[in-house]
Amino acid sequence: MTLELAVSNLSIQNGAYRLCEDLSFSVAPQEVVTIMGPSGSGKSTILSWISGALGPDFKASGTVSLGGRTLTGLPIEKRGIAILFQDDLLFPHMTVLENLLFALPAGERKARKKEATQVLADLGLNELKNRRPKALSGGQKARISLMRALLSRPDAVLLDEPFSKLDKPLRKSFRAFVFETIRTMGIPAILVTHDEDDIPEDGRLIRLDE
Ligand SMILES: Nc1ncnc2c1ncn2[C@@H]1O[C@H](COP(=O)(O)OP(=O)(O)OP(=O)(O)O)[C@@H](O)[C@H]1O
């Protein structure tokens, strides 16, 4: 099942400060649309609104739908969207593998353990599987958080600066891995970044002004 993500007429106000006005765009299955803009221009806030996690300090209007199903007003857990925040945290008391398995519905954890282990092997992180998050580098945590979000098999994924903690060579290979995973899963994705190198080839870009 492949679903298009559509945002229409989105306006967000933070007190007297307008973050975006009448923003409309759609993201096709397998597509990664990039949002760029100065710090504080509202990129993370837009992702929060789409996922259903926008706090009460903001006033927002607009519609979001996934595969024609209107999501506006639905709670975060009913939207089928995975969001990876910039400072996403792994559970400190669980090992890396346990963190990955926790993303899965309780009934699927045993059967999909092999898949989670394979994900770690694909990332070249197999030797970390029994470590706790405090024994990982920032870049290792970032990669594991992202794979945890994708393992839950969402219908769409929102990524807030997922590559910012990686050095240049690692960033390049992990970026390619993530884009390939999104293509294979056939889901729409939105990527927030400050780095133009992160924009996928032929990818669409939305630029926010301050
Ligand atoms: N929880 C909150 N309550 C009130 N205001 C907030 C909250 N979170 C962010 N803001 C404000 O909303 C505006 C947009 O913030 P946001 O984090 O969306 O920007 P951004 O474009 O993602 O920035 P950056 O590139 O620095 O991550 C900023 O002015 C910020 O100070």
The band of 210, judged by pLDDT with boundaries at 50, 70 and 90, is low
Burial of 168 (0-12, 13-18, 19+ CB in 10 A): exposed
Query: Ligand 1 test: best mutation among 10, 12, 13, 14, most atoms within 8 Å of CB?
Result: 14
DSSP letter assigned to residue 82 = E
- Compute φ and ψ for 134, nearest 5 degrees: -70, -15
Indicate which atom in ligand 1 lies nearest the CA of residue 161: 27
Burial readout 60-94 (b: 16 or more C-beta within 10 A, e: otherwise) = bebebbbbeeebbeeeeeebbbbbbbeebebeeee
CATH number, domain of 198, equals: 3.40.50.300
Q: How many helices (H) and strands (E) does the chain have?
A: 5, 9
pLDDT tens profile 128-187? 999 999 999 888 888 899 889 888 889 999 999 999 888 988 899 889 989 998 999 999
Per-residue pLDDT of 4-35, as tens digits, reads: 999 999 999 998 889 999 999 999 999 999 99
ipTM associated with this complex = 0.93
Yes or no: say if 123 and 147 are a contact pair by the CB < 8 Å rule: yes
CA of 161 to the centre of ligand 1 (A): 14
CA-nearest residue for atom 3, ligand 1, is: 57
pLDDT at 170: 86
Cβ–ligand 1 contact at 209 (below 6 Å): no
Q: Identify the CA nearest to 28 among candidates 3, 9, 10.
A: 3
Question: pLDDT value at position 116?
Answer: 92
Q: What is the pLDDT of residue 1?
A: 65
Please, are residues 65 and 114 in contact by the beta-carbon 8 Å criterion? no
For the record, the structure tokens of 17 come out as 């400060």
Max intra-chain CA distance, the chain: 51
Give the distance (Å) from ligand 1 centre to CA of residue 129.
34
**CA atoms of 200 and 175, how far apart (whole Å):** 9
| Tens digits of residue pLDDT in 59-117 | 999 999 999 999 999 999 899 999 988 776 789 999 999 999 988 888 989 888 999 99
d(CA 141, CA 159): 15
Does residue 112 have its Cβ closer than 6 Å to ligand 1?
A: no
Q: Which residues of 130-162 are buried (b: 16+ CB within 10 A; e: fewer)?
A: eebbeebeebbbbbbbbbbbbbeebbbbbbbbb
Distance separating alpha carbons of residues 182 and 201, to the nearest angstrom: 14
107 lines ligand 1 (CB under 6 A): no
Query: What range defines the domain where residue 119 resides?
Result: 5-207
Q: Give the pTM.
A: 0.91
Helices (H), 69-137: 96-102, 113-122
**Domains of the chain: total:** 1
**Ligand 1 neighbour 15 (Cβ under 6 A):** no
Q: How many CA atoms lie within 13 A of 204 on its CB side?
A: 12
